[in-house]
Structure 1
Amino acid sequence: MYSLFRKEINQFFGSLIGYLVIAVFLLSTGLFLWVFNGNYNIPDGGYATLDGLFSMAPWVYLFLIPAVTMRMFADEKRTGTLELLLTRPLSSFQLVGAKYLAALVVVALSLLPTLLYFFSVYQLGNPVGSIDTGATWGSYLGLFFLAAIYLSIGLFASSLTDNQIVAFILSLFLSFFWYTGFDFVAGLPIPSGIAETLSSLGINQHYESVSRGVLDSRDLYYFLAMVGLFLLLTQISLFWKRYSKKQAISRLGIYIVATTFAAILMTNHFFRIDFTAEKRFTLAEQTRKIMEEVDQPAIVNVYLKGDMLPAGFRKLAKAVKEKLLDMNVYAGAPVHVQFIDPYQDVKPSQRKGYFDSLIDEGLKPTDLRIKTDQGTSTRLIFPSAVVRLHGHEVVVNFLQNDPSLPAEENLNRSIELLEYQFARAFRVLMQHKKQKVAFLTGHRELSQWQVKDISNALSENYDVVRITPDDLLAAPDSFRAVIVADPEKAFPERDKFALDQYAMKGGRLMWLIDPVQVSMDSLSEGMMTLAFPRNLNLQDQLFHYGVRLNHDLIQDVQCRMIPVNTALTGQPPKFTPAPWYFSPLLMPSQNSPVGKNLNRLMADFVSSLELVGENQDVKKTVLLTSSAYSRTTETPMEVSLDMINEPPARELFTQHYIPVGVLLEGKFSSVFKNRMLNELHLPAGMKPRYESPQTKMMVFSDGNLIANKVHETPKGVQILPLGYDRYTKQTFGNKAFFVNAVQYLCDDSGLMELRTRTVKLRLLDKVKLREEKLKWQLLNLLVPVLFILLFGVVFNFIRRKRYAH
Structure 2
Amino acid sequence: MYSLFRKEITSFFGSLTGYLVAFVFLIANGLFLWVFPGTYNLIENGYASLSPYFQLAPWIFLFLIPALTMRLFAEEKRLGTLEILITRPYSLLQLVWAKYLAGLFLVVVCLLPTLVYFYSIYSLGNPVGNWDSGAAWGSFIGLFLLAALYVALGVLASSLTDNPVFAFITALILCFIFYSGFDFVAAMEVPMVVKTFFLNMGISEHYDSVSRGVVDSRDVLYFVLVTGIVLVLTSLFLRRKQQNLKRQLKKTGFLVAVVIVVMFIGSAWFFRIDLTTEKRYSLSTVSKTLLEKLDAPIKVDLYLAGDLPPGFRQLQRAVEEKVQDMDAWADFRIQSVRKDPYDISNNDERNKLFNQLVNLGLQPTDLRQNKEEGTVTKLIFPGAVLRYRDQLVGINLLKNNPSLSADENLNNSIETLEFELMNAIRQVEQGDKEEVAFLSGQDELGDPETWDIRQGLSENYTVVDRTAEQLFQNDTLPKALIIADPSKAFGEQEKFYIDQYLMRGGNLLWLFDPVQVSLDSLSRGETTIAFPRDLNLMDQLFKYGVRVNPDLLQDVECVLIPVNTSPVASQPKFTPAPWYYSPLLTPAEDNVISRNLNRLKSEFVSSIDTVGKNPEIRKSVILHTSAYSRKIGTPEQISLQSINDPPAQELFHMSNIPVGVLLEGSFPSVFSNRMTREFNPLGIDVLDKSEPAKQIVLADGSLIANKVSRRNGQVRTQPLGYDEYSQQTFGNKAFLLNAVNYLCDNSGIMELRSRVFKIRLLDKVRLREEKTFWQVLNVVLPLLIIVVFGLVFHFVRIRKYRG
Given the two structures, how large is their TM-score scaled by the length of structure 1? Answer: 0.98
Q: Which moved more, 1:640-649 or 1:430-439?
A: 640-649
User: What corresponds to 1:15 in structure 2?
Assistant: 15
The C-alpha deviation readout for 1:462-509, integer Å capped at 9, x for no partner, is 011111112013237331110111111110000000100000011001
User: What corresponds to 2:173 in structure 1?
Assistant: 173
Give the whole-Å Cα distance in 1 for the aligned partners of 2:103 and 2:180: 23
User: What corresponds to 1:651 in structure 2?
Assistant: 650
Q: 1:790 aligns with which of 777, 788, 791?
A: 788
Question: Per-residue deviation at 1:348?
Answer: 4.1
Question: Per-residue deviation at 1:716?
Answer: 0.9
The C-alpha deviation readout for 1:212-250, integer Å capped at 9, x for no partner, is 111110000000011001101111122223333233222
Identity of aligned residues (%): 53
Give the whole-Å Cα distance in 1 for the aligned partners of 2:466 and 2:336: 42
Q: Which moved more, 1:622-631 or 1:355-364?
A: 355-364
Question: Per-residue deviation at 1:190?
Answer: 1.7
Question: Per-residue deviation at 1:715?
Answer: 6.3
SS state of the match for residue 553, structure 1?
strand
SS state of the match for residue 582, structure 1?
strand
Counterpart mapping for 1:723-802 below 5 A: 723-802=721-800
Question: Per-residue deviation at 1:714?
Answer: 2.8
User: What corresponds to 1:613 in structure 2?
Assistant: 612
Q: Which moved more, 1:124-133 or 1:244-253?
A: 244-253
Question: Any conservation in 1 of the 2:525–2:640 contact (CA below 8 Å)?
Answer: no
Counterpart mapping for 1:543-562 below 5 A: 543-562=542-561
Counterpart mapping for 1:677-692 below 5 A: 677-684=676-683, 686-692=684-690
Q: Amino acid of the residue matched to residue 203 of structure 2?
A: I
Give the whole-Å Cα distance in 2 for the aligned partners of 1:176 and 1:271: 29
Counterpart mapping for 1:60-99 below 5 A: 60-99=60-99
Give the whole-Å Cα distance in 2 for the aligned partners of 1:427 and 1:231: 46
Q: Amino acid of the residue matched to residue 546 of structure 1?
A: G
Q: Does 1:664 align with 2:668?
A: no
Q: Does 1:249 align with 2:240?
A: no
Give the whole-Å Cα distance in 1 for the aligned partners of 2:392 and 2:357: 13
The C-alpha deviation readout for 1:31-79, integer Å capped at 9, x for no partner, is 0011111000111111111111111111100110011100011111111
Q: Does 1:450 align with 2:449?
A: yes
The C-alpha deviation readout for 1:364-385, integer Å capped at 9, x for no partner, is 1111112222121111111111
Question: Any conservation in 2 of the 1:346–1:354 contact (CA below 8 Å)?
Answer: no
Question: Any conservation in 1 of the 2:323–2:335 contact (CA below 8 Å)?
Answer: no
Question: Any conservation in 1 of the 2:616–2:666 contact (CA below 8 Å)?
Answer: yes
Give the whole-Å Cα distance in 2 for the aligned partners of 1:18 and 1:51: 28
- Residues 468 and 785 of structure 1: CA distance in aligned 2, closer, same or farther (over 3 Å): same
Q: Amino acid of the residue matched to residue 198 of structure 1?
A: F
- Residues 570 and 124 of structure 1: CA distance in aligned 2, closer, same or farther (over 3 Å): same
Q: Does 1:511 align with 2:510?
A: yes
SS state of the match for residue 722, structure 1?
coil
Give the whole-Å Cα distance in 1 for the aligned partners of 2:476 and 2:678: 24
Question: Any conservation in 2 of the 1:476–1:502 contact (CA below 8 Å)?
Answer: no
SS state of the match for residue 161, structure 1?
coil
Give the whole-Å Cα distance in 2 for the aligned partners of 1:673 and 1:766: 63
User: What corresponds to 1:289 in structure 2?
Assistant: 289
Give the whole-Å Cα distance in 2 for the aligned partners of 1:673 and 1:305: 60
Question: Per-residue deviation at 1:456?
Answer: 0.4
Question: Any conservation in 2 of the 1:416–1:758 contact (CA below 8 Å)?
Answer: yes
Give the whole-Å Cα distance in 2 for the aligned partners of 1:678 and 1:542: 22
Question: Any conservation in 2 of the 1:66–1:151 contact (CA below 8 Å)?
Answer: yes
User: What corresponds to 2:131 in structure 1?
Assistant: 131
Question: Per-residue deviation at 1:642?
Answer: 2.1
Give the whole-Å Cα distance in 1 for the aligned partners of 2:376 and 2:352: 20
Q: Does 1:398 align with 2:394?
A: no
Question: Per-residue deviation at 1:557?
Answer: 1.1
Q: Amino acid of the residue matched to residue 413 of structure 1?
A: N
Give the whole-Å Cα distance in 2 for the aligned partners of 1:19 and 1:557: 67
Question: Per-residue deviation at 1:349?
Answer: 5.3
Counterpart mapping for 1:79-478 below 5 A: 79-306=79-306, 308-348=307-347, 350-475=349-474, 477-478=476-477
Give the whole-Å Cα distance in 2 for the aligned partners of 1:508 and 1:717: 32
Question: Per-residue deviation at 1:271?
Answer: 0.2
Question: Any conservation in 1 of the 2:559–2:583 contact (CA below 8 Å)?
Answer: yes
User: What corresponds to 2:534 in structure 1?
Assistant: 535
Question: Any conservation in 2 of the 1:527–1:642 contact (CA below 8 Å)?
Answer: no
Q: Amino acid of the residue matched to residue 678 of structure 2?
A: E
Question: Per-residue deviation at 1:435?
Answer: 0.9
Question: Per-residue deviation at 1:353?
Answer: 3.3
Cα root mean square deviation, aligned: 1.2
After the TM superposition, which parts of structure 1 deviate over 4 Å for at least 4 consecutive aligned residues?
none
Question: Per-residue deviation at 1:264?
Answer: 1.0
Give the whole-Å Cα distance in 2 for the aligned partners of 1:647 and 1:467: 44
SS state of the match for residue 532, structure 1?
strand
Q: Amino acid of the residue matched to residue 490 of structure 1?
A: A
Tell me, which stretches of 5 or more residues in structure 1 are unaligned? none
Give the whole-Å Cα distance in 1 for the aligned partners of 2:335 and 2:220: 23
Give the whole-Å Cα distance in 2 for the aligned partners of 1:154 and 1:681: 84
Question: Any conservation in 2 of the 1:563–1:578 contact (CA below 8 Å)?
Answer: yes
Question: Any conservation in 2 of the 1:476–1:507 contact (CA below 8 Å)?
Answer: no
Give the whole-Å Cα distance in 1 for the aligned partners of 2:517 and 2:615: 36
The C-alpha deviation readout for 1:78-107, integer Å capped at 9, x for no partner, is 111111111111122221111111111111
Q: Which moved more, 1:776-785 or 1:92-101?
A: 92-101
User: What corresponds to 1:566 in structure 2?
Assistant: 565
Number of aligned residue pairs: give it.
Answer: 803
SS state of the match for residue 396, structure 1?
strand
